[in-house]
Amino acid sequence: MATVESFKAASSVYAPLSGEVVEINDTLEADPAQVNTDPMGDGWFVKIKIEDPAAFDKLLDEDAYKKLTQ
């Protein structure tokens, strides 16, 4: 879906669900720092029309993800 580059590495970003990309956040090209400074606001990559809405229910919410990664 995207590649995030830093001084040390380039990392791929994968979509958590299958679907059709319906919008791309073009502002990231001019200001990629938004991914880090405002990830829940203006730092989004793409908007996706989800192929199987039931698959959304299998994703972790923010609190569960934080608990898993701490």
3-state secondary structure of 55: helix
17-69 is classed CATH 2.40.50.100: yes
Residue 4 pLDDT = 83
What tens-digit pLDDT sequence spans the chain (70 residues)?
A: 888 888 889 999 898 899 999 999 999 999 999 999 999 999 999 999 999 999 989 999 999 999 999 9
**Cβ proximity of 4 and 35 under 8 Å:** yes
Instruction: Return d(Cα 68, Cα 24) in angstroms, integer.
Output: 29
Instruction: Return d(Cα 31, Cα 53) in angstroms, integer.
Output: 31
Q: pTM for the full model?
A: 0.76
